[in-house]
Amino acid sequence: MKKILFVCMIMACVQLSLGQKYAYIDSDYILNNMPSYVEAQAELNRLSLNWQKEIESKFAEIDAMYRKYQQDAILLPEDAKVKRQEEIIAAENAAKELQKKRFGTDGDLYKKREELVKPIQDRVFTAIEEYAKERAYAFVFDKAGDMTIVYADAKFDINDEILAKLGIVANAQH
């Protein structure tokens, strides 16, 4: 609903200002043509895979502890059962905490993404803003986002100009 309202407001503004210029970009295309972004994404993927393996290993250990407990439970005295159950629960809580630490909303992956990708995105958005001001564009839309653009005339595509402003020669097709 918010998207529809946003699109309607944009269209109303465009209707009121027919003399204004507009253009569009594809932020995915721009970012994927930036070697620094591609390297940052590769680093994030590598870290994510390593951390995921670490967490899966912890849960596999917990599973082994539980299976061993089930095998031994018949022969264990009650206090030993309780101790083992507490150990399993503690290990499971520690694994869940590690998972949250690595992949939570303020986790290590989020922080690393902020560290590696945000400066690149800021650089792109600054270049877009500068380019739009230089060319007197009233609006620059991003067709890669959630906003759906049903049709976009290629003459308003400024992706390659933004890449050139960033000092990058495009190599991907869009």
Cβ pair 142, 148 in contact under 8 A: no
pLDDT in tens, 151-167: 567 778 888 888 888 88
Give the span between the Cα atoms of 170 and 31, in whole angstroms. 10
Q: Can you give the pLDDT at residue 11? A: 63
Tens digits of residue pLDDT in 47-99: 999 999 999 999 999 999 999 999 998 999 999 999 999 999 999 999 999 99
Contacts (Cβ under 8 Å, ≥6 apart) of 22: 14, 137, 138, 139, 140, 141, 156
pLDDT band at 105 (very low <50, low <70, confident <90, very high): very high
pTM, full prediction: 0.71
Residue 62's pLDDT is what? 96
Question: Which is more confidently placed, 134 or 2?
Answer: 134
| Cα–Cα distance measured from residue 56 to residue 102, given in angstroms and rounded to the nearest whole number | 12
- pLDDT for residue 151: 56
**What rounded mean pLDDT belongs to the chain?**
86
CA distance 167 to 157: 18
The pLDDT, as a whole number, for residue 169 is 83
The rounded distance, in Å, linking the Cα atoms of 113 and 40 is: 8
Q: Which residue has the higher pLDDT, 125 or 2?
A: 125
pLDDT given for residue 100 in this prediction? 96
pLDDT of residue 14: 55
Higher pLDDT among residues 22 and 147, named by residue = 22
